Structure 1
């Protein structure tokens, strides 16, 4: 179960990378490919992870599409108002009441468009977070070990495997190790289990902090881009904002990849320490 839990974290963790991406239809390809190529997963587990990947892709596509549609609708409203200004103010009619009314209406349309885009962006973020949460839950469920009765005999000593289900066994849990250890080793083994839990939790917490920082960076960069380009897509300020946004995306991806690598390393180190303790305790 310990190895399965670690695998679940390694497979589920990169979901976060899909959320900050700007591209429509971004999918957790690397994650799903890693699961498909894993030698530790059964065929049923791989199928369940593939189904979760497909569901996440559909949810992410829907969220991106809804946001894009909202932005397109807002731009259309602004363009319509701008066209109305041109029509009302052309041919020397810039001082007329009709021209002034059209300008007022255009300003109101821009304000309303900004509100609609902000609301759509907030909804997109919520939808993507919900999709990622559902995906992570599905992956963890797919990778959970079978819930058999006692699972006795799962220790490394071989023993009899009564109560096992016949498949290639998942490693025993910490509770199993402690339960079947000699009395004089149980306290030390429990301490090793507690340390493994603490190390795993710390690694997950560090990755989650990096993930949240990436989300915040993306949100800020996206807001700056929309603020600079709203109604002035051809301006130098908008061009500069686009360049800054692309740079931010590059940095966000680099930070997430570094966090994922660190998570993988920390989990491997935690497991190695635990296994070393087991070997020491049960040597001879």
Structure 2
């Protein structure tokens, strides 16, 4: 009898701890800006990939021993889907092991059906995530000056846009809260929208079939780097067949020209997505070392 009660108690405590460690909240407390009214057509497949996202959220992953650093995670998917499990939830768990509080951002996927201006929808959500995390830093036991952002593929484009467009607010920000991430980690990122480097699918999904020259320049983030761009770590594979490694190279060059501290590691193999090698443990170790060298983690 005692043993059964003890097992039930431990099970309850374990479930309670998991519920406290992970919870999902709406990104906006009021209406979603730049939204068209319509039916919610979001769906999640068996692999936890999200489609037709129109109601953004953040899922909070709280580590057992938080060190004050936090990171907002932007999954990839070509601005047409979100790879929530492999490039979101599993990454959050890995950062928790370092003591980093993680926020998985389920950002809106650009669509004329659900947005008035689809080109700014994802950036609105990234800026709002930074704002919310900074506003509620004390509640979540994090340092408001140690808030980073990480992005994969098109999520890397979004993260880089958040870092290079921080002074161009596309959300309401009457409180004048800084929308600048304190650091960026970009994995096999889409950086440029020019014809030779850009990922055509991401560009079309975000800007449409016939973007203007001004739009292409605005969202080619190697052209938007300034001295205020956050310190950045770039990870890419030289044999990437979907997003050429030159995306990371031109961004690194722009960071270097502007005196922005930057690190970069090019794996000889790994293609797009690092599905086999390098393993998550391998590239996460590079992240850990870089974060430690900059004083964002201790171990």
Query: Normalising TM by the smaller chain, what interval?
Result: under 0.3
- Which is richer in helix? 1
Higher relative contact order (CA closer than 8 Å, sequence separation 6+): 1
Q: What TM-score does the superposition give when structure 1 sets the normalisation length?
A: 0.28
Q: What TM-score does the superposition give when structure 2 sets the normalisation length?
A: 0.27
Q: Which has the higher Rg, Structure 1 or Structure 2? A: 1
